Amino acid sequence: MNPEAWALLRSQLILGQTLQGTVLPTTWPAGVTGIFVDLRLPVVGFVNVLLLPHDAHRWPTVGTATDFEIWWMDERPQIRLKPVNPAYLRDDFDDWAARLRGHA
């Protein structure tokens, strides 16, 4: 995706927006970086390992369709996501996010 097309798409999305996506296969072992998600958009979504449960067996499996929140977008044509379903989110997410934001 060229930078102009990405800028246009990104302008139509907002942080915190919920999108449904389907977990894609990956070529590396679970637990290394995270999971990729098909959002039915011209770019893929990505959930960083830091947002997922510590036990990779609790991650959504390939083919799982579920809701994700837009967590971050920048100049790279990729949408960073956070699982909406708490079963797919790290157990200490609220405390972790507060520490990340400097509120703990």
Whichever domain contains 20, its CATH number is 2.40.50.140
pLDDT for the residue numbered 86 = 95
Angle, vertex CA 44, rays to CA 83 and CA 91, nearest 5: 20
pLDDT for the residue numbered 94 = 87
SS3 50: helix
Q: How many domains are contained in the chain?
A: 1
Q: Is the pTM of this model over 0.95?
A: no
pLDDT for the residue numbered 48 = 93
Sheet strands (E) in 1-104: 18-23, 34-38, 45-48, 65-73, 79-83
- Domain of 40 in residue numbering reads as 3-100
Chain-centre distance of CA 36, in angstroms? 7
**φ, ψ at 38 (rounded to 5°):** -80, 115
